[in-house]
């Protein structure tokens, strides 16, 4: 047997040992977290309801939960998820949802009776006014009939709000326009038109998303905008200045959330398996970060600074701008003042302007 073959076998064996050790460590961490919750840890999870979802979904999930996977080098913290549905029909090439169910993006929904039960317990028990994000594991408007029931559930109380995040157009907001509601925050993820043309083909055109946002804004809803993920495509300054001005010609968002692409290994792997256009991943720097692959810090800083300058130029307050999944150093170099290790986009503090 050749030395090369022996060395290759040795490396593969070492890789296997590393993978086994990593899985064992993860199981230990997960077990310790479960034990901590069982011993009365004062986390939101102790208030949540674990329900068997309908057989058609084959899920056994905690319907209301805290997102707490953020690494310490990222200036983001816990926020509340309302897990009403999974997957998304819009199939954006870079979407992190590909990694959440092994590449299966098909929409699935939880029966409302289980959602209602979870909300009855959580909304009445959780004392801190909070935002419940419905757009983390799905597009919030992919099933308007079900979402209408959910938002109406929040209207039964006045402490907590529900957050809707979408890339759909005007048709999917009709239920919001039929009846005004006070406990709903609406948000749209809107990319530059050229970036959307390349990697968001099934989503509504950015102009249609702006139109939908304008409709709910004029109806009196708290409306927020995500310009995320921003890509440094050719002539990117012109493209992102254009979409920013299109947005502000239609409405003035309560908050603007900026972001650049993140590439968790599962996202990249399952995007490749799906055979989508992977050119969006060409912008990543070689090194990994606490949140997978990112573009270089210099490029991210340049893009954020450019957008901040444009926002300031039209008189938009910087205290209403946040960055998604970004480092403490980037926030501070931009002159922003985050509440470190708390979610500045969807956390309880995001209910008010700071």
| SS3 of the chain | CCHHHHHHHHHHHHHHHHHHHHHHHHHHHHHHHHHHHHCCCCCHHHHCCEEECCCCCCCEEECEEEECCCCCCECCCEEEEECCEEECCCCCCCCHHHHCCCCCCCCEECCHHHHHHHHHHHHHHCCCCCEEECCCCECCCCCHHHHHHHHHHHCCCCCCEEEEEECCCHHHHHHHHHCCCCCEEEEEECCCHHHHHHHCCCCCCHHHHHHHHHHHHHCCCEEEEEECCCCCCCCHHHHHHHHHHHHHHHCCCCCEEECCCCECHHHHHHHHHHCCCCHHHHHCCCCEECCEECCCHHHHHHHHHHHHHHHHHCCCCHHHEEECCCEHHHHHHCCCCCCCCECCCCCHHHHCCC
At 2 the pLDDT is 40
CA distance 245 to 223: 16
CA distances in angstroms from 288 to 34, 264, 296, 314, listed in the order given: 29, 9, 10, 36
Could you tell me the two tokens for 252? Answer: 């003035």
Could you tell me the two tokens for 254? Answer: 């309560």
Query: Going from the N-terminus, what domains does the chain have, and what CATH number goes with each?
Result: 45-351 (3.80.30.30)
Angle at the Cα of 216 (from 214 to 220), degrees rounded to 5?
110
CA distances in angstroms from 261 to 284, 296, 314, listed in the order given: 8, 11, 26
CA distance 155 to 183: 6
pTM attached to this predicted model: 0.84
Q: pLDDT tens string for the chain (354 positions)?
A: 443 333 434 434 444 454 555 455 555 545 554 444 333 322 344 444 444 444 334 445 689 998 877 677 788 878 999 999 999 999 999 999 998 888 899 999 999 999 999 999 999 999 999 999 999 999 999 999 999 999 999 999 999 999 999 999 999 999 999 999 999 999 999 999 999 999 999 999 999 999 999 999 999 999 999 999 999 999 999 999 999 999 999 999 999 999 999 999 999 999 999 999 999 999 999 988 777 899 999 999 999 999 999 999 999 999 999 999 898 889 999 999 887 777 888 888 788 655
Angle between helices 144-154 and 112-125 in degrees, nearest 10: 20
At 72 the pLDDT is 72
């Amino acid at each position: 047997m050749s030395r090369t073959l022996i060395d290759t076998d040795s490396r593969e064996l070492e890789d296997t040992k590393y993978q086994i050790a990593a899985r064992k460590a993860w199981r230990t961490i997960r077990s310790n977290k479960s034990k901590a919750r069982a011993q009365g840890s004062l986390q939101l999870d102790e208030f949540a309801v674990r329900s068997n979802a309908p057989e058609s979904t084959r899920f056994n999930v905690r319907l209301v939960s805290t997102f707490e996977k953020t690494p310490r080098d990222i200036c983001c913290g816990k926020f509340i998820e309302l897990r009403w549905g999974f997957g998304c029909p819009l199939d954006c090439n870079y979407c992190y949802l590909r990694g959440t169910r092994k590449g299966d993006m098909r929409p699935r929904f939880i029966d409302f009776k289980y959602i209602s039960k979870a909300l009855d317990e959580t909304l009445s028990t959780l004392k801190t006014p909070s935002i419940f994000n419905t757009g983390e594991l799905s597009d919030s408007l992919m099933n308007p009939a079900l979402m209408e029931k959910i938002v109406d559930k929040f209207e039964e109380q006045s402490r907590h709000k529900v957050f809707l995040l979408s890339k759909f157009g005007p048709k999917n907001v009709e239920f919001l326009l039929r009846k005004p509601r006070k406990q709903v925050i609406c948000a749209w993820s809107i990319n530059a038109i050229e970036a959307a043309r390349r990697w968001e083909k099934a989503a509504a055109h950015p102009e249609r998303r702006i139109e939908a946002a304008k409709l709910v804004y004029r109806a009196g809803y708290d409306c927020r905008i995500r310009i995320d993920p921003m890509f440094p495509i050719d002539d990117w300054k012109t493209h992102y200045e254009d979409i920013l001005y299109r947005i502000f010609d239609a409405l003035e968002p309560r908050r603007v959330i900026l972001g650049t692409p993140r590439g968790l290994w599962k996202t990249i792997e399952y995007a490749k398996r799906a055979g989508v256009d992977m050119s969006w991943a060409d912008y990543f720097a070689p090194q990994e970060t606490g949140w997978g692959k990112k573009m270089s810090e210099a490029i991210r800083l340049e893009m954020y600074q450019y957008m901040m300058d444009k926002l300031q130029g039209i008189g938009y307050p910087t205290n209403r701008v946040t960055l998604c999944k970004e480092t403490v150093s980037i926030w501070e170099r931009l002159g922003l003042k985050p509440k470190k290790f708390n979610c500045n986009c969807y956390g309880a503090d995001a209910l008010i302007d700071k």
